[in-house]
Amino acid sequence: MAYSQTNLVADLPSGAGVDLHLDLNRRGIRASLTNALRDAVRTGRLVPGTRLPASRSLASDLGVSRSTVTESYAELVAEGWLVAQQGSGTRVARRAEPHSRQTRTSRGTPNRRLPTHALMPGSTEFGEFPRAQWLAAARRALSVAPRSAFGYGDVLGRVELRTALADYLARARGVHADPDRVVICSGFHHGLKLMTEVLTARGVRAVAVESYGLHIYRDLLAEAGLQVPPLHVDGHGARTDELSALSGVGAALLTPAHQFPTGVALSPERRAAAVDWARTTDGLILEDDYDGEFRYDRQPVGAVQGLDPERVVYFGTASKSLAPGLRLAWMVLPEDLVSEVAAAKGDVESASALEQLTLAEFITSGAFDRHVRSMRQRYRRRRDQLVAELAERAPHVHVTGMAAGLQAVVELPPGTERSVLQAAGQRGLLVSGMAEFRSPLTDPDRPAPSQDALVVNYAAPSDSAWANALDALCSVMPGT
Amino acid sequence: MAYSQTNLVADLPSGAGVDLHLDLNRRGIRASLTNALRDAVRTGRLVPGTRLPASRSLASDLGVSRSTVTESYAELVAEGWLVAQQGSGTRVARRAEPHSRQTRTSRGTPNRRLPTHALMPGSTEFGEFPRAQWLAAARRALSVAPRSAFGYGDVLGRVELRTALADYLARARGVHADPDRVVICSGFHHGLKLMTEVLTARGVRAVAVESYGLHIYRDLLAEAGLQVPPLHVDGHGARTDELSALSGVGAALLTPAHQFPTGVALSPERRAAAVDWARTTDGLILEDDYDGEFRYDRQPVGAVQGLDPERVVYFGTASKSLAPGLRLAWMVLPEDLVSEVAAAKGDVESASALEQLTLAEFITSGAFDRHVRSMRQRYRRRRDQLVAELAERAPHVHVTGMAAGLQAVVELPPGTERSVLQAAGQRGLLVSGMAEFRSPLTDPDRPAPSQDALVVNYAAPSDSAWANALDALCSVMPGT
């Protein structure tokens, strides 16, 4: 079983003078190219209107067949990210700007936007930031902040926030947290990057990942030279029982509370298997608790970290519970990792001290709990509407993975995912297919079962946009 | 001329169970060890009370002579960072916590602090953060922030802040700035790290630095595998005329407005030489404008970037003008570097969007200009007091480099720097000697002239602490 991943790096020069650095995976090259381009559009690295290189020249630069490039372009045109125009080649769609670059600059005029319904994971029309309560917390935090808060910070992060988080995580997520083991970072991506540096410095060669997940995290690990063998995902979560059969794996990256994107919770047996593996092999579990605050159907599933705090690195984030724009996340570390992570982070704190103090105040004042409760009701309502509407208008599709979190899986009849995504593109509906999250590194001996499905982020649209987005989604269901 | 730098990496296990990762420069090993330990204490990676390893075992781990370690420890004991106790070895001093870790945790009790006067560059008792005005800007920013502000940001940074900075920098610093070429980062260190990635990816092998400067930036470059040949610094600033004699240099890191730490402004001839070199060799100037806002004796010295925006990467920061705790800085890039820097930065914005919007509002409302003007008066008063007091109590020392910025150089009689630092340590005065900033990579054929001096950050102490700090400083001057 060879899981190594060679990367193909291409600089994509466009007619508009934009160079785009693409880091592609040799295996599954078309999916990798499609994902890289989609991400570049989504995040604004490729701005609306940018002309992409001709398929022939890009194929030649990449050393791949021309059909790989044309298929990749066609798929993104179908999904609405790109536009193909007779005589002017393929361009980034004007409307495809859910995330990023502003349509207005200091000089420009607003671009005309076509109606777009954004339901992809990571979409951020997220309109419910508690502005007044946040400002009140900022006022209280600023009024009592010591002088030292305005200086270069503690490399671990402000002690006030680490203390508030330790208390909150123990109470709400069953995490064994001591403030001295909490490290503040500017997003899960940042935290995982730090852990990757520590792991590679320790000589770790491979980190197991879930066979479905966000490719940016697999890529981050692979770019650091790590192998990323996948664990199958089934109705009980990741197959952590497979870990002991993989050789040379030093850590496993898991989403136990609510597997992303399938939405399954890791079963107690699988949790035990993961911890047993870590204890036996001196391995580490990297627990990505990205939406652990949101559970609708039953008691919150506690963090795996509670089972063995010396074997689990716990990652939490304010991105789902508050807003990605805060760029605040946290890790709870085994004791023997604290100084290594601190060294990887460097001597200069990367998150604003004022923002850290504000979040500490927001948590200790109870505003965070109130906000999470209110968001939980709101998302639950959304989820119920999604389920009810689909049950009525597309009774043959099955919705799963929605007992928690912000996304649900809409299972489709076999072979229909791509055509549904194309129909969605034509309706101006930006949504993700399950295939987008599949690890390209499947073991030929044990292929991952594929499932045609959409991953729907029902928390993405604003209240005013939700009804239309839901309508658009229902309208593209097969057989409707 | 060989400027290559081999690094020696050591993990420093202490009796207290703290591992400390030290990255040392093989050349000038004692100074390098002293600097690394001093930094670790200053930034809190080595917490007060921590016991350092026995000199014999550390020497053996590092593969250096035992006397190197004992001299390094002795120097830091003399400066007040460490304490040597009969029978219990060498420990981090309890009082040496200007920067970082809180002395109080959620459970602990405050440590007893001995009186300390902190006058080192980077000290941050900095008490004049404009809390009320900042909060007012945050309120206005939050009330008009678009929904998208709470999402994943533009990789370059919020357009509102990039636009506000472009206008401000053009007006105040003579920078040719277009918002599309401004990139927000979380400190100069972050910006330089991004540029280092871009330069190494472009095949650059060496970046010239000033022969006096902060070693953390030289180290950052060297750790990326770059050679860092030094340019001599004299009364006209860095000897940029030496650039053309250095082979293989792709960029030069300079502090033109106010050379750090000597305080000299780069002369017009040297500016022209730098730009000519960059044009001729297709090189880049990395302009660290860390305190360009503060000029006392004459008109502000404009940025070198204005001479050739396609050859200069301009770096500015809110750390001196507002507070390091904000973790906000900015780069203005040549057009052909924007996409490469954006790719190095990654798809996820690292600075809080709310903080960026607040700073944009703070600038456009005029609050930033008012704040800088008020700080300028305050620092000028401090500087005048420093000069007057030294003139009276230590008439034989000479103060230079204080026409701008937050620090001054107190020139000492030859051979007295070390004893003055030791006397300062005994008085609880934490201050830096010029030797701390000297590049260890001197060219044997052209040794840098050494100058015994203290580098005094007169902006560091709070108003209530200033008089005592100044008194302590005067009391340790030689011959007083």
Do residue B325 and residue A352 have CB atoms under 8 angstroms apart? yes
Residues of B with CB below 8 A from A155's CB? 43-45, 100
pLDDT tier at A24, thresholds 50, 70, 90: low
Tokens of A138: 């900022």
> Nearest residue on chain A to B137, judged by CA atoms?
A135
Query: HSE (CB half, 13 Å, CA atoms) of A477?
Result: 23
Report the b/e string of B423-434 with b at 16+ CB within 10 A. bbbebbbbbbbb
Q: Which fold has domain A131-366?
A: Aspartate Aminotransferase; domain 2 (3.40.640)
Predicted confidence at residue B173, as pLDDT, reads 87
pLDDT tier at B5, thresholds 50, 70, 90: very low
State pLDDT tens for residues B210-256.
999 998 899 999 999 999 999 999 999 999 999 999 989 999 999 99
Work out the widest C-alpha separation in chain A, in whole angstroms. 64
Cβ atoms < 10 Å from Cβ of A1 = 11
A107 contacts: CB under 8 Å, gap ≥ 6: none
Residues of A with CB below 8 A from B143's CB? 131
A152 touches chain B (CB under 8 A): yes
Lowest mean pLDDT among A82-91, A272-281, A452-461: A82-91
B12 touches chain A (CB under 8 A): no
Tell me the pairing of strands A7-13 and A19-25. antiparallel
State ipTM: 0.76
pLDDT tier at A106, thresholds 50, 70, 90: very low
Lowest mean pLDDT among A134-143, B160-169, B310-319, B395-404: B395-404
Predicted confidence at residue B100, as pLDDT, reads 36
pLDDT tier at A299, thresholds 50, 70, 90: low
Give B102 to chain A, closest Cα distance, Å: 7
Which amino acid, one-letter code, is at A309?
A: P
Q: What radius of gyration do chain A's Cα atoms show? A: 22
Do residue A186 and residue B186 have CB atoms under 8 angstroms apart? yes
Give A8 to chain B, closest Cα distance, Å: 15
Cβ atoms < 10 Å from Cβ of B2 = 10
Do residue B325 and residue A154 have CB atoms under 8 angstroms apart? no
Closest to A310 (Cα-Cα) out of A140, A181, A422, A464: A181
pLDDT tier at A163, thresholds 50, 70, 90: very high
For residue A151, give the nearest of B124, B150, B346 by CB distance: B124
Do residue B100 and residue A153 have CB atoms under 8 angstroms apart? yes
Find out whether the peptide bond into B261 is cis, omega within 30 degrees of 0.
yes
Lowest mean pLDDT among A249-263, B108-122, B383-397, B448-462: B108-122
Give A163 to chain B, closest Cα distance, Å: 6
**How far apart are the C-alpha atoms of B38 and B99, rounded to whole Å?**
12
Lowest mean pLDDT among A27-31, A279-283, A474-478: A27-31
State pLDDT tens for residues B344-362.
887 655 789 999 999 999 9
Query: Is the predicted pLDDT of residue A18 greater than 50, yes or no?
Result: no
Predicted confidence at residue B442, as pLDDT, reads 67
Tell me how many residue pairs between chain A and chain B have CB atoms under 8 A apart. 217
Query: Is the predicted pLDDT of residue B117 greater than 50, yes or no?
Result: yes
pLDDT tier at A347, thresholds 50, 70, 90: low
Which amino acid, one-letter code, is at B399?
A: V
B18 touches chain A (CB under 8 A): yes
Which amino acid, one-letter code, is at A208?
A: A
DSSP B106: S
Report the b/e string of A147-169 with b at 16+ CB within 10 A. ebbbbbbbbbbbbbbbbbbbebb
Closest to A384 (Cα-Cα) out of A469, A313, A470, A462: A470
Residues of B with CB below 8 A from A131's CB? 142-143, 145
Residues 100-129 of B with CB under 8 A from A: 100-102, 104-106, 122-127, 129
Residue A201 vs residues A41, A197, B11: alpha-carbon distances, Å = 34, 6, 12
Query: Is the predicted pLDDT of residue A64 greater than 70, yes or no?
Result: yes
Which amino acid, one-letter code, is at A107?
A: R
Domain at A117-128+370-475, CATH homologous superfamily: Aspartate Aminotransferase, domain 1 (3.90.1150.10)
What's the CATH architecture for B2-92? Answer: Orthogonal Bundle (1.10)
Predicted confidence at residue B98, as pLDDT, reads 39
Query: Is the predicted pLDDT of residue B312 greater than 50, yes or no?
Result: yes
Predicted confidence at residue B91, as pLDDT, reads 84
Query: Is the predicted pLDDT of residue A300 greater than 50, yes or no?
Result: yes
State pLDDT tens for residues A203-221.
999 999 999 999 889 999 9
Please state the domain extents for chain B.
2-92, 117-128+370-475, 131-366
Residue A150 vs residues B105, B123, B327, B465: alpha-carbon distances, Å = 18, 11, 10, 17
**How far apart are the C-alpha atoms of B445 and B454, rounded to whole Å?**
27
- Mean pLDDT in chain B? 84
Query: Is the predicted pLDDT of residue B277 greater than 90, yes or no?
Result: yes
Predicted confidence at residue A146, as pLDDT, reads 86
Query: Is the predicted pLDDT of residue A108 greater than 50, yes or no?
Result: no
B452: region left, alpha or beta (phi > 0 left; psi from -120 to 50 alpha): beta
**How far apart are the C-alpha atoms of B207 and A155, rounded to whole Å?**
28
State mean pLDDT over A224-242.
95
pLDDT tier at B267, thresholds 50, 70, 90: very high
Do residue A325 and residue B151 have CB atoms under 8 angstroms apart? yes
A111 contacts: CB under 8 Å, gap ≥ 6: A48, A94, A103, A104
Residues 426-465 of A with CB under 8 A from B: 462
Do residue B151 and residue A125 have CB atoms under 8 angstroms apart? yes
State mean pLDDT over B289-306.
81
> Nearest residue on chain A to B328, judged by CA atoms?
A352
Predicted confidence at residue B301, as pLDDT, reads 74
Predicted confidence at residue B362, as pLDDT, reads 97
Do residue A105 and residue B324 have CB atoms under 8 angstroms apart? no
A247 contacts: CB under 8 Å, gap ≥ 6: none
Predicted confidence at residue B440, as pLDDT, reads 79
For residue A124, give the nearest of B21, B101, B152 by CB distance: B152
Do residue B150 and residue A323 have CB atoms under 8 angstroms apart? yes
For residue A326, give the nearest of B39, B190, B352 by CB distance: B352
Query: Is the predicted pLDDT of residue A115 greater than 60, yes or no?
Result: no
Predicted confidence at residue A5, as pLDDT, reads 39
Give B449 to chain A, closest Cα distance, Å: 30
Residues of B with CB below 8 A from A179's CB? 105-106
A131 touches chain B (CB under 8 A): yes
Which amino acid, one-letter code, is at A223?
A: E
Do residue B124 and residue A150 have CB atoms under 8 angstroms apart? yes
Predicted confidence at residue A124, as pLDDT, reads 54
Residues 380-399 of B with CB under 8 A from A: none
State pLDDT tens for residues A411-456.
999 999 999 999 998 888 889 999 989 887 766 666 666 789 999 9
Residues in chain B: 480
Residues of A with CB below 8 A from B352's CB? 325-328, 351-352, 355
Lowest mean pLDDT among A277-286, B96-105, B293-302, B377-386: B96-105
For residue A151, give the nearest of B145, B324, B342 by CB distance: B324
Give A86 to chain B, closest Cα distance, Å: 28
Query: Is the predicted pLDDT of residue A3 greater than 50, yes or no?
Result: no
Do residue A354 and residue B355 have CB atoms under 8 angstroms apart? yes
> Nearest residue on chain A to B153, judged by CA atoms?
A100
Phi, psi of B158 (to 5 degrees): -60, 135
| Segments in B112-237 forming alpha helices (H) | 131-144, 159-173, 188-201, 215-223
Query: Is the predicted pLDDT of residue B297 greater than 80, yes or no?
Result: no
State pLDDT tens for residues A178-197.
999 999 998 999 999 999 99
The residue written with tokens 């005065």 in the block is: B429
- Fold match between domain A2-92 and domain A131-366: no
State mean pLDDT over B126-155.
87
Tokens of A104: 């207005």
Return the percentage of chain B with pLDDT > 70, whole number.
84
Residues of B with CB below 8 A from A200's CB? none
Query: Is the predicted pLDDT of residue A391 greater than 90, yes or no?
Result: yes
Q: Tell me the sheet residues that pair with A233.
A: A238
Query: Is the predicted pLDDT of residue A10 greater than 60, yes or no?
Result: no
**How far apart are the C-alpha atoms of A159 and A148, rounded to whole Å?**
12
Give B64 to chain A, closest Cα distance, Å: 23
For residue A147, give the nearest of B20, B127, B154 by CB distance: B127
* pLDDT, greater one: A467 or B314: B314
**What pTM did the predictor assign?**
0.79
Work out the widest C-alpha separation in chain B, in whole angstroms. 64
Q: CA end-to-end span of chain B, whole Å?
A: 43
Question: Is B287 in contact with B254 (CB distance < 8 Å)?
Answer: yes
Beta strands in A320-459, from DSSP E residues, in sequence order: 329-332, 398-400, 407-411, 429-430, 432-433, 453-457
Residues of A with CB below 8 A from B166's CB? 106
Phi, psi of A429 (to 5 degrees): -105, 115
> Nearest residue on chain B to A100, judged by CA atoms?
B154
State pLDDT tens for residues B376-426.
888 888 999 999 999 999 998 999 988 888 889 999 999 999 999 999 988
Question: Is B81 in contact with B36 (CB distance < 8 Å)?
Answer: no
B9 touches chain A (CB under 8 A): no
Which amino acid, one-letter code, is at A271?
A: R
* pLDDT, greater one: B26 or A262: A262
Predicted confidence at residue B20, as pLDDT, reads 56
Do residue A43 and residue B106 have CB atoms under 8 angstroms apart? no
B241 contacts: CB under 8 Å, gap ≥ 6: B270, B273
